[in-house]
């Protein structure tokens, strides 16, 4: 059994991915980097929307909801700034590894044959996520297990879409050395958001949170 993390892309992102495949398969002489850059920004936007922006809806208190929106806005800004630094006007031959990573390691079909944007989860990470989500019942929760589950999921996402993706980019030493710093900053902001969110939520909201996250974990034979 293999476990995946994956979200369903918007029609906009699907179209962009299909356009990239068509350009490459036809050996188009047009520059690939603008579409690569746009796809990267769109994926980042949709990850944040799926994992954080939509999650704000489970917060019952309006003041706390506003504070969480502020944290999410900082994460969005940090991700956007990092991508602007990393993504340049690269030659087509240097962009091809990025598209190969997207095609072979970032796009998969779920059990219903629908496209997902995601990746294979390490077995230990998948178990941590399942254990944490299963710790929430109708009348109890293990906050520590749930916190570790959300940390594990978010760290895996950051690792795949920042660390591993950046390995396919033609970066100089300065930009490559900046990646761990950016990654640490985003992880810290994500942990802050989770740490602020969980203690505030009543049991009903915690159940909604778990129901919200479960569909992102796909189990395939």
**What's the DSSP call for residue 2?**
E
Write out the two tokens for 161. 């879409």
Domain range list for the chain? 2-220
Residue 148: CB partners within 8 Å, gap ≥ 6?
128, 132
User: Which one is predicted more confidently, 55 or 95?
Assistant: 95
Q: Kindly report the length of the chain.
A: 221
State both tokens at 90: 């690269």
- List pLDDT tens digits, range 174-199: 889 989 988 898 888 889 888 888 88
From residue 83, alpha-carbon distances to 39, 194, 220 in Å are 11, 23, 31
| Cβ atoms of 135 and 23 closer than 8 Å | no
Average pLDDT in the 89-102 region?
96
Coil, strand or helix at 212:
helix
Cα 119 from chain centre: 10
> CA dihedral in degrees (52, 53, 59, 62; nearest 10)?
140
**pLDDT tens, position by position, 67-91:** 888 888 888 988 998 899 999 999 9
Per-residue pLDDT of 119-174, as tens digits, reads 999 999 999 999 999 999 988 999 999 999 999 999 999 999 999 999 999 999 88
Q: What is the pTM of this model?
A: 0.93
Query: Mean pLDDT, to the nearest integer, of 53-61?
Result: 79
User: Which is nearest to 48 in space by CA: 121, 157, 181, 146?
Assistant: 157
What is the rounded distance in angstroms from the CA atom of residue 203 to the CA atom of residue 26?
Answer: 54
Distances 79 to 36, 96, 131, 140, 221 between C-alpha atoms, Å:
16, 22, 29, 35, 34
Asked whether the beta carbons of 54 and 73 are under 8 A apart, the reply is no
- Is residue 209 pLDDT above 80, yes or no? yes
Q: Which has the higher per-residue pLDDT, 127 or 59?
A: 127
Q: 48 is written with which tokens?
A: 């944040």
Cα–Cα dist 20/114, whole Å: 19
């Amino acid at each position: 059994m293999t476990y995946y993390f994956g979200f369903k892309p918007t029609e906009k992102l699907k179209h962009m991915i299909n356009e990239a495949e068509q350009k490459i398969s036809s050996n188009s002489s047009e520059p690939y980097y603008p579409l690569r850059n746009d796809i990267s920004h769109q994926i980042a936007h949709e990850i944040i929307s799926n994992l954080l922006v939509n999650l704000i809806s489970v917060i019952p208190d309006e003041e706390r909801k506003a504070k969480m929106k502020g944290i999410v806005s900082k994460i969005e800004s940090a991700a956007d700034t990092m991508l602007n630094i990393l993504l340049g006007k690269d030659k087509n031959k240097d962009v091809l590894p990025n598209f190969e990573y997207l095609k072979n390691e970032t796009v998969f079909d779920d059990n219903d044959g629908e496209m997902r944007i995601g990746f294979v989860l390490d077995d230990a990470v998948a178990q941590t996520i399942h254990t944490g989500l299963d710790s929430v019942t109708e009348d109890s929760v293990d906050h520590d297990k749930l916190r570790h589950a959300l940390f594990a999921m978010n760290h895996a996402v950051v690792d795949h879409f920042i660390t591993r993706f950046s390995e396919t980019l033609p970066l100089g030493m300065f930009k490559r050395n900046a990646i761990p710093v950016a990654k640490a900053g985003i992880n810290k902001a994500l942990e802050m958001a989770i740490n602020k969110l969980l203690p505030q939520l009543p049991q009903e909201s915690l159940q909604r949170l778990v129901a919200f996250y479960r569909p992102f974990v796909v189990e395939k034979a």
